[in-house]
Chain A
Amino acid sequence: MPILEVRQLRHVYSAGTPYEKTALQDVSLTVEKGELIGVIGHTGSGKSTLVQHLNGLLKPTSGQVLLDGDDIWKNPKAIRAIRFRVGMVFQYPEYQLFEETVEKDIAFGPHNMGLPDEEIAARVRRAATFVGLSEDILAESPFELSGGQKRRVAIAGVMAMEPEILVLDEPTAGLDPKGRETILSQIEAYRRENGTTVLLVSHNMEDVARLADKVLVMDHGEVRMFDETAAVFSRAEELEALGLSVPAVTRIFMALRARGFAVGDNAYTTDQAVRRLLSLVRGGTPHAE
């Protein structure tokens, strides 16, 4: 059984006013346990609206969200329990920090779950380790940290709830390349260790290509593509028509092929590209056809 299923989801904002806007239309998808799904789409395509339905922050206008086969709105009073199972890291999550110390802030989620103190302390330590925060930072005020550190504290705050599904809305927005790399590899490590299902909303095609098993493409509130990463990025023209792009290496490969080089299938990550090109060069037939 898929861990997460969305059925004909539709969401209308401010229904019945002049500001009425349909943000999602007939969205259906299934996610298997342990998958990492990349969610892409230009600004205003409905990505954020979609992910906010997954933990019940928004209620569908019509349609269903099923977690482990059960409708999350079956018992609206128990929606908080769903939020602990589907952890959600918002865009710029560092703006949600409020506690006196980093430790207390990370403990906010686990504390709300009603866990015993020892368990909370253990989870805070574990989450902090995952995002690479040292022991002495835990006692500091979150407002005195650097931007990248704040971001990692905020992500740790959600990881500490140890959700079955982790949703991250542009976790690397506004970070420098090194900060981006750190956070992505930490998310990857966390997922490998816990077998967590991850949904990663991103504008960065390179990141999606490298990490995702499958890619969901949103446009105007509808699902345009939902397929294996390689299959999605092979439809470069369609993606560009939607205002999206393909990874830079993929563009290079497409250009090479257009000039008559037998580069074979497209490459999506730099590693892949290097291997393909090296074998091509060593094969001694740089010019084909």
Chain B
Amino acid sequence: MLSDITIGQYFPGESVLHRMDPRVKIVLTIAYIAAIFIPQNWAGLGVAVAFLIVCVACSRLPLRLIWKSLKPILPIVLITAVLNALYVHQGVVLVDWWILHITTGGLIHAAFLALRILCLIAGSSLLTYTTGPTALTDALERLMKPLKVIRVPVHELAMMMTIALRFIPTLIEETDKIMSAQKARGADMESGGVLKRIRALIPVLIPLFVSSFRRAYDLAMAMECRCYHGGSGRTRMIQLHLHRRDAIAIAATAACVAAAIVFNFLLPATI
């Protein structure tokens, strides 16, 4: 059924990560990505990996979810690793045959980069798994507020995003209903060639368009009735406040970034 599709990747939960301030989560995710790319030796990267493992444990997400987010990028990781292994020539030569020159340095490079990409994806998907789409747009709006100075319509963009996200489940439900209704009249959407299948969509798409426009008019009317006039002077129902958990998270991430920098100075670079 269509309704089984999850929007974004939000996986509801009650963990510390779920309850953290979304603004802090966004900023810290960006900081963490930096912490992955700063280290030049295993010690620094090790800290970043350890930090990620602690975060995953705190999120109480099932591990298969993390694996699901990593699966699609595995080919990219593999290609990057292979290219690095082939083109970086450092250290002891292991294979030297025809155009293949594989060195220990190349293999270390490959492993290092692969680990970085995996951390990057796992870390950022942790953000989308633990933060609902509306909380995300809300936080983005606030973080982008300074852009108002250069006349970026931040509020309007965020409102559009919120409305779009809000209506995805509604539209899916609507599509589901219309499909059921047409199937009940014997519409066949599962068999036949490409052309036949495209044709079979007409009885679904036309009512869907009609109802989308109807909904849009209704929503615009309802917003105007409640005196919506853009972002100026609007207050928020949900006020975001920083809590102790946010402070701890900020401190931990800062420590992770600091460790990466310190290790870069103290230890010789691996890559």
Contacts and interface: CB of A to CB of B under 8 A. Distances in A.
Contacts of B180: 52, 57, 90
B226 interface: no
Contacts of A143: 210
B185 interface: yes
A108 B182 CA distance: 9
B181 A113 contact: no
Interface stretch (B39-47, B199-207, B235-243, B254-262): B199-207
A57 B11 CA distance: 28
Given A18-B11, A52-B180, A96 B186 contact: no
A41 interface: no
Nearest to B185: A109
A97 B4 CA distance: 26
Nearest to A93: B181
A74 to B, nearest CB: 18
A98 B207 contact: yes
B177 interface: yes
A276 to B, nearest CB: 41
A177 B180 CA distance: 28
Interface string A50-89: 0010010100000000000000000000001001100110
Interface in A83-123: 83-84, 87-88, 90, 93, 95-98, 108-109, 112-113
Contact of A95 (B4, B12, B187, B210): B210
B210 A112 contact: no
Interface residues of A, number: 26
B202 to A, nearest CB: 7
B202 A98 contact: yes
A158 interface: yes
B186 A83 contact: yes
Given A95-B207, A95-B211, A96-B178, A80 B188 contact: yes
Interface in B147-199: 177-178, 180-188
The B interface, classified by DSSP as helix, strand, loop or mixed, is helix
A221 interface: no
Contacts of A112: 185-188
B3 interface: yes
Interface string B1-41: 00110100001100000000000000000000000000000
B183 A83 contact: yes
B11 A90 contact: no
A100 B181 CA distance: 18
Given A14-B3, A96-B178, A112-B188, A57 B210 contact: no
B185 A157 contact: yes
A140 to B, nearest CB: 16
Contacts of B188: 80, 112
Given A90-B181, A95-B207, A112-B185, A18 B12 contact: yes
A52 B177 CA distance: 11
A14 B6 CA distance: 11
B3 to A, nearest CB: 7
A87 B184 contact: yes
A200 interface: no
Contacts of B206: 98
A104 to B, nearest CB: 11
Given A83-B186, A109-B186, A161-B186, A96 B181 contact: yes
16 contacts: A17-B4, A17-B6, A80-B186, A84-B186, A88-B184, A90-B180, A95-B210, A96-B178, A96-B203, A98-B202, A108-B182, A109-B185, A109-B186, A112-B186, A113-B186, A161-B185
Given A95-B210, A96-B207, 10 more contacts: A84-B186, A90-B177, A95-B207, A96-B203, A97-B207, A112-B185, A143-B210, A157-B185, A158-B185, A161-B185
